[in-house]
Amino acid sequence: MKKYLTYLGIFFLLCFCTPILFTSTFPQDTTNNQNQETESKKEAEEIVPSTYDYSEYQTVKLLHKDNNKIEELPLDEYLYGVVSSEMPASFEKEALKAQAVVARTYTLYKMIQNKGKHGEADICDDSTCCQAWISKEDRFARWDEEDQDVYWSKIVNSVNETQGKMITYEGKPINAFFHSNSGGATEAPINVWGGSGYPYLQSVQTSGEEDYSQYESEVSVSKKEFEEIIKKEHSNFEIDFSKEDAIKVTQYTEGNRVKTIQVGNLKLSGVEMRTLFGLRSANFKITIQNNEIHFEVLGYGHGVGMSQTGADSLAKQGKTYEEIIHHFYTGVEIEDI
Ligand SMILES: [Zn+2]
């Protein structure tokens, strides 16, 4: 009996000590590089996903706009190409995971809502129409060689670790809009595209977006160019720059963007000004400086839904992909498909 207890004791000791042996760390000063190497090797390893039953959404029929050909891909494999095309792989892992869930949700939403828009195909690879996509070969060609394996694994793992997850509102996949940089506050879709809007797409504030290059930009045009550009769309346009209120913002949106602006004899929307002058967003200040019209712009994109740099900023502050999603989409749930 005593012998039996001794064996049992040794067995327990081994059980507890073995993990300690394997997880013990080396002194920082001598092996910092080694640790970093092990870390990036670990990053370069792809997680092999268990097969997930996506029922009727097993594959995506992707239309390549450049050659008009349809390629059929397993859903998550398609998402590797979307996430690597839509978000920099250098972003935080939790931000990439949020992008993976957003992309999966957007794909399912399009597959359900867009039936017939692209004939036999479910979705196209044009970001201005559906959602950007890039092949692994093309993606690799645009990365530095030393980053390729680590970056690709990071993308693949972000999709695989969120396998089966989608964002829902009242049980249905949401129209998961996203953009590059919110300029500090996201926008309600009604202020961008009109219509009645979606309850889960509200204006929310995000801190830390000012640290990204997408945050601030400027555009200048001469008074003559300014007049010509507007006249192309509105032949009745007239402006007297010497008048104090020649250009005046008349209304702002809840996301701090220009809703309406008086320009000479016209009242235009901020969204139209953005399009006319190729501004990165409708969040702008406009001033007349000598012979020039000057725009100072904050943010990049339409501003609706998840801000990608905002997601990265939140991830840097320690937020998980679920918290990031709940921050940008009001009242939603993250569910298994
Ligand atoms: Zn499309």
Provide the angle, in degrees to the nearest 10, between the axes of the packed helices 75-86 and 93-113: 120
Give residue 22 CA to ligand 1 midpoint distance, Å.
Answer: 50
Q: Do 160 and 246 fall into the same domain? A: no
Q: Output the six-digit token pair for 143.
A: 């990365």
Q: Are residues 244 and 154 in the same domain?
A: no
Mark whether 144 and 277 lie in a shared domain: no
Q: In the prediction, which pLDDT does 53 show?
A: 83
pLDDT at 332 over 60: yes
Gap from CA of 2 to ligand 1 centroid (Å): 74
Looking at the fold, whether 129 and 244 belong to one and the same domain comes out as no
| Ligand 1 centre distance from Cα of residue 108 (Å) | 13
128 alpha carbon – ligand 1 mean position (Å): 8
DSSP string of 217-270, one letter each residue: EEEEEEHHHHHHHHHHH-TT----TTSTTSEEEEEE-TTS-EEEEEETTEEEEH
Torsion, Cα 69 70 75 78, to 10 degrees, reads: 0
180 and 202 in one domain?
A: yes
Predicted pLDDT at 19: 35
Distance from residue 301's CA to the centre of ligand 1 (Å): 18
Give the distance (Å) from ligand 1 centre to CA of residue 60: 13
- CA of 304 from ligand 1 middle (Å) equals 19
Q: Are residues 270 and 315 in the same domain?
A: no
Residue 194 lies in a domain: yes
Looking at the structure, tell me whether residues 264 and 122 fall in a common domain.
Answer: no
In a domain, 10, yes or no: no
* Domain, as residue range, for 290: 216-298
Report how many domains make up the chain: 2
In a domain, 113, yes or no: yes
Confidence of residue 40 (pLDDT cuts 50, 70, 90): low
175 shares a domain with 316: yes
Residues 6+ apart with CB under 8 A from 31: none
User: Is residue 100, in this structure, part of any structural domain at all?
Assistant: yes
Q: Is the dihedral of CA 196, 198, 204, 206 positive or negative?
A: negative
d(CA 111, ligand 1 centre) in Å: 11
User: For 43-58, how does the pLDDT look when each residue is reduced to its tens digit (9 = 90+)?
Assistant: 667 766 667 888 888 8
What spacing in Å lies between the alpha carbon of 147 and ligand 1's midpoint? 31
112 pLDDT band, cuts 50/70/90, is confident
* Structure tokens belonging to residue 197: 């809007």
Residue whose C-alpha is closest to residue 320's, from 58, 27, 137, 97: 97
Same domain, 85 and 172: yes
Q: Which pLDDT tens digit goes with each residue over 52-111?
A: 888 888 899 999 999 999 999 999 999 999 999 999 999 999 999 999 999 999 999 998
Task: Please report whether residue 197 resides in a domain.
Answer: yes
pTM above 0.85, yes or no: no
- Is position 225 within any domain? yes
